[in-house]
Each structure stands twice: as C-alpha cells, then as structure tokens.
C-alpha cells in the first residue's frame, strides 16, 4: 500500500470526465447496443486537412526538437496578431505563452497565484477543473451562480457579494462550458467596474469564443479600460480547429506574468511540440472555410437539439448562444442529475453528463454535447423522450 504516501490534496482530486461515462457506455457497446455519445467535450470533426499536412511537413522538416519554453517566436507573433484583431486588445509576441493544450494556462495561473486560504471565484455550474485545481493548491473555491433565468449569466450583485479581501482570482468563461451561456458587454463592464481597483487577477477562459451563434462578436474583459494587465486570457486550438489531440493552447498576459510562467514551463513541459506549433501557424493563417463550416453545422445542430429538448414534456432548455453544449433542466422528474444520467444510459443508451459534476449550482440539469451528427441527435432525442415518458 503506497496510497498514504501521496498528499491528501492529490488524493482528493476527483474529476468526472466524459471519458468515465464513455467507459461505462462501453459495457452496452460490448453487448452490441448502439450508444449515442453526447458526453464528450470535443468536436466530432477531423482536424482540417491543411493543418494536418502542415504538421506532417513540419515533422519532415525537422521540427522535432526542443523549442523555446514560451513558444516559437514566429508562432507567438502570429497569435499576437490574431488576438489583437479578434479580441480587440493590443498585444505583441511577448504577451503570448504557448502551452500543450489550453489547460496548462489554468494550472500555471492557479499554481502561481493562489496561496492556501486565498479565494477563487468560479462560475457554478462551471468547468470542473477550476474547482479541482483551486482545491489542489489549498485555495477556497467560491461558487458564483450562473442562473437559467438569466440565460446562464451571473448577476453583478452575486459577484459583489462574493468579492472579499481574500479574493485572489476571478475566473470567467464565456461562451461557457457546460451551459453555452455568453456574457454580454454590459456584464463585463459591470465586472470591470467592480474589480478594477482591487488587488486580484482575472482568468478569462475564451476557448469557445469562435463558437458563437449571435450576431455580436464576443467581448474579452481584457479589452476594457484598465483590465488588460489584470487579465490572463486562456485560449487554444482544441475546439475551434478540432485539434483536441494535438495539445495546443496559449495564454495572453502581461510580460510580468509571462516571466513568472517561464520557469514553471521549463520545469514541467519544457515546451510545446514544435511540429504542433507549425500546424498552429497554418491553422491561424490558412484557409478558414473548415472553421466557418463547422460553426455553421454546430448552429444547425443546436437548433435541432434545443427545439427537440423543449418539445419533450418535463424538460426545459434555454437557447445557448455559444460553445456546443445544451444544459436542460430536468428537475421536474424528481431524479438527481446523476440518477437521470444513469437512467438515460441504462434505459436509452444515451450518454450524457450530470449537471452536479459542474458544481453545486449544476444540480437539476444534465449536459448534452451536440458534437454529433443531426441524425444521431434526432435519434437521441427520440430515445430520451421515450425513456422519460416512463418516469
Ligand atoms: C471551458 C474549457 N476551458 C479549457 C478547456 C481545455 O482545453 P484544452 O483541451 O485545449 O486543454 C476546455 C476543454 O474541455 C474547456 O471546456
């Protein structure tokens, strides 16, 4: 027995991911049944061909060695140009930190900012890694309710009540996982007014900011007066370019913050795979048709999904404005979200995630990812309708 040798914090990390449910679903698949997978948070599209080719070419060209910890200079430059124009902030290569996937930006931010006892305000429901990593370093997660009544945004009053002298970090995520909610410019201006003069940092998780189904372009809090220095933006290629397995993400931050991240990266990943970064250059500078097509397809699927869910007696679902998740309210059935997820898998072979895994305010909901074909979504909706009618 060696488990006791590990720290309590390490032993306590518990993350329910789509992969666990996928594993559970396998028992049905092994029996020859078709499971419809709506539990995973990744696009079902392949990485666009031009990007794959650029990655392969880079390997052939010898981009298979260590590179600079913060990323290849040419790539950081291109990201900076993209960020400056899409997010409407002025940055250069020195503000860009390239990482293997976007998650390390979250990890390094929390590791380098949060002392034991510091408070971190996190969206609830929200991406479960925020809470897990905060607890891991001894920080105190303070859930900020994202309410269905406000299309899964939060109220400024709720935020103000949660700000304290111990608040070190405020995490924002828009468009949001798991609800698809999008914060408005007014929301963010209100946040900026509340925190501008406070001694805290913001982590703005913008990984879904190209997956947006409203006419307005998303706003980054970093673009508001006085906020750029206080903000670390997390973004990456996993979702927008269907590159989850390549592991390619980045942070946008002040030079001061980048200098803090540098030794952490040297000590952990060393750097991000060089050929992956070359593929990233092609992703940002090459033809964007595949992205536009993918987003159009997601929009179509969203409409099928939300209309279908709302036509099922007992289910209610707000229209998400971004990302690729639906977060319906299933409270009328008298089951917990975990029980409903188990029931849908056992009874209908539809794999979903319980809202409770996204924090205390996620109870009463389930998350369905619509990264699946329209045909499969329609079949899933039919199966769900038949299953919940029996309850
Ligand atoms: C809200 C949110 N932030 C960050 C990430 C991390 O993305 P990556 O796979 O690039 O590490 C995800 C992925 O699921 C996410 O949903």
**Can you give the pTM of this predicted structure?**
0.96
- The rounded distance, in Å, linking the Cα atoms of 241 and 315 is 32
CB of residue 244 inside a 6 A radius of ligand 1: yes
Whether residues 67 and 42 fall in one domain: no
Q: How confident is the model at residue 216 (pLDDT cuts 50, 70, 90)?
A: confident
Does 178 sit behind a cis peptide bond, omega within 30 degrees of 0 on the bond before it? yes
> Which residues, in sequence order, are bridge partners of residue 167?
119
Query: Going by CA atoms, what residue is nearest to atom 7 of ligand 1?
Result: 102
- The rounded distance, in Å, linking the Cα atoms of 48 and 63 is 20
CB of residue 103 inside a 6 A radius of ligand 1: yes
What backbone phi and psi angles, to 5 degrees, belong to 268? -120, -75
Whether residues 222 and 335 fall in one domain: no
Residue 86: CB partners within 8 Å, gap ≥ 6?
A: 209, 210, 217
Query: Domain with 165 in it: what CATH number?
Result: 3.40.640.10
Whether residues 168 and 66 fall in one domain: yes
Compute the mean pLDDT over every residue in the chain, rounded to the nearest whole number: 96
- Average pLDDT, stretch 299-328? 97
Q: Could you give the number of structural domains in the chain?
A: 2
pLDDT value of position 55: 98
In the chain, the percentage of residues whose pLDDT exceeds 90 is 94
- Average pLDDT, stretch 191-199? 97
Is the pLDDT reported for residue 18 higher than 80? no
CB of residue 104 inside a 6 A radius of ligand 1: no
What backbone phi and psi angles, to 5 degrees, belong to 353? -120, 140
CB of residue 38 inside a 6 A radius of ligand 1: no
pLDDT value of position 161: 98
- The rounded distance, in Å, linking the Cα atoms of 32 and 228 is 53
Query: Among 102, 175, 211, 362, which is best to mutate for testing ligand 1, by the most ligand atoms less than 8 A from CB?
Result: 102
SS3 302: helix
Whether residues 295 and 251 fall in one domain: no
CB of residue 236 inside a 6 A radius of ligand 1: yes
Query: Among 103, 123, 251, 358, which is best to mutate for testing ligand 1, by the most ligand atoms less than 8 A from CB?
Result: 103
Whether residues 21 and 65 fall in one domain: no
CB of residue 210 inside a 6 A radius of ligand 1: no
Whether residues 173 and 81 fall in one domain: yes
pLDDT value of position 214: 86
- Average pLDDT, stretch 10-22? 82
Per-residue pLDDT of 156-177, as tens digits, reads 999 999 999 999 999 999 999 9
Sheet with 96-99: list strands edge to edge.
96-99, 249-252, 231-236, 201-205, 167-173, 119-124, 140-145
Per-residue pLDDT of 323-339, as tens digits, reads 999 999 999 999 999 99
The β-bridge relationship of strands 96-99 and 201-205 is unpaired
Atom of ligand 1 nearest to the CA of 238: 10
Q: How far is the CA of 302 from the centre of ligand 1 (A)?
A: 20
Q: Which of 183, 212, 174, 240 is nearest to 322 (CA)?
A: 212
- The rounded distance, in Å, linking the Cα atoms of 266 and 262 is 6
Query: Domain with 310 in it: what CATH number?
Result: 3.90.1150.10
Whether residues 85 and 72 fall in one domain: yes
Is the pLDDT reported for residue 117 higher than 90? yes
Write down which residue in 233, 257, 285 finishes a domain: 285
CB-side neighbour CA atoms (13 Å) of 45:
22
> Which residues, in sequence order, are bridge partners of residue 316?
329
Residue 71: CB partners within 8 Å, gap ≥ 6?
A: 79, 96, 97, 98, 250, 271, 272, 277
What backbone phi and psi angles, to 5 degrees, belong to 369? -90, 130
Write down which residue in 285, 311, 336 finishes a domain: 285
Is the pLDDT reported for residue 15 higher than 90? no
Calculate the CA 378 to chain-centre distance. Answer: 25
Atom of ligand 1 nearest to the CA of 248: 10
Is the pLDDT reported for residue 149 higher than 90? yes
CB of residue 129 inside a 6 A radius of ligand 1: no
- The rounded distance, in Å, linking the Cα atoms of 146 and 325 is 15
Write down which residue in 285, 304, 331 finishes a domain: 285
Whether residues 281 and 294 fall in one domain: no
pLDDT value of position 296: 95
Whether residues 302 and 374 fall in one domain: yes
Per-residue pLDDT of 27-55, as tens digits, reads 999 999 999 999 988 899 999 999 999 99
pLDDT value of position 329: 98
DSSP category for residue 218: P
Helix runs in 252-367, H state only:
255-267, 274-285, 289-310, 337-348
- The rounded distance, in Å, linking the Cα atoms of 305 and 373 is 11
Whether residues 206 and 239 fall in one domain: yes
Is the pLDDT reported for residue 137 higher than 80? yes
Q: Which of 7, 10, 21 is nearest to 132 (CA)?
A: 10
- Average pLDDT, stretch 250-257? 98
- Of 313 and 40, more confident: 313
Range of the domain at 363: 3-46+289-389
- The rounded distance, in Å, linking the Cα atoms of 370 and 368 is 6
- Average pLDDT, stretch 222-245? 97
Is the pLDDT reported for residue 16 higher than 80? no
CB of residue 249 inside a 6 A radius of ligand 1: yes
Q: How confident is the model at residue 23 (pLDDT cuts 50, 70, 90)?
A: confident
- The rounded distance, in Å, linking the Cα atoms of 180 and 285 is 27
SS3 34: coil
Whether residues 139 and 278 fall in one domain: yes
- Average pLDDT, stretch 89-94? 98
Helix or strand run (H / E) with residue 82: helix 73-86
CB of residue 200 inside a 6 A radius of ligand 1: no
Whether residues 257 and 109 fall in one domain: yes
Q: How confident is the model at residue 17 (pLDDT cuts 50, 70, 90)?
A: confident
Query: Going by CA atoms, what residue is nearest to atom 13 of ligand 1?
Result: 41
What backbone phi and psi angles, to 5 degrees, belong to 97? -125, 115
């Amino acid at each position: 027995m060696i488990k006791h040798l590990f720290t309590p914090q390490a032993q306590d990390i518990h993350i329910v991911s789509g992969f666990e449910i996928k594993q559970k679903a396998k028992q049905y698949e092994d029996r020859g049944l078709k499971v419809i997978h709506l539990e995973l948070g990744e696009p079902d599209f392949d990485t666009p061909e031009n990007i794959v080719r650029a990655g392969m070419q880079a390997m052939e060209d010898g981009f298979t060695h260590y590179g600079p910890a913060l990323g290849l200079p040419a790539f950081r430059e291109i990201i900076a140009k993209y960020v400056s124009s899409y997010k409407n902030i002025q940055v250069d290569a020195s503000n860009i930190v390239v990482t293997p996937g976007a998650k390390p930006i979250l990890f390094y931010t929390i590791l380098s900012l949060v002392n034991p006892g510091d408070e971190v305000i996190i969206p609830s429901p929200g991406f479960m890694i925020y809470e897990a990593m905060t607890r891991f370093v001894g920080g105190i997660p303070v859930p900020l309710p994202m309410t269905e009544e406000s299309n899964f945004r939060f109220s400024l009053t709720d935020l103000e009540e949660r700000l304290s002298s111990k608040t070190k970090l405020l995490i924002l995520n828009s468009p949001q996982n798991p609800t698809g909610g999008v914060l408005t410019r007014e929301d963010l201006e209100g946040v900026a007014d509340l925190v501008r003069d406070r001694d805290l940092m913001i982590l703005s998780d913008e990984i879904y900011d190209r997956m947006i189904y409203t006419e307005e372009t998303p706003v980054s809090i970093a673009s508001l007066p006085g906020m750029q220095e206080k903000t670390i933006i997390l973004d990456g290629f996993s979702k927008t370019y269907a590159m989850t397995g390549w592991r390619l993400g980045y942070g946008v931050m002040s030079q001061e913050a980048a200098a803090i991240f540098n030794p952490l990266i040297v000590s952990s990943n060393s750097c991000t795979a060089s050929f992956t970064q070359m593929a990233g250059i092609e992703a940002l500078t090459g033809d964007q048709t595949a992205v536009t097509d993918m987003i159009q397809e997601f929009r179509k699927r969203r409409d099928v999904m939300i209309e279908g869910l709302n036509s099922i007696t007992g289910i209610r679902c707000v229209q998400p404005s971004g990302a690729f998740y639906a977060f319906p309210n299933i409270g009328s059935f008298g089951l917990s979200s975990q029980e409903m997820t188990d029931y849908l898998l056992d009874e209908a072979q539809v794999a979903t995630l319980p809202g409770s895994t996204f924090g205390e305010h996620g109870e009463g909901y389930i998350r369905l990812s619509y990264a699946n074909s329209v045909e499969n979504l329609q079949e899933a909706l039919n199966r769900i309708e038949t299953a919940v009618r029996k309850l």
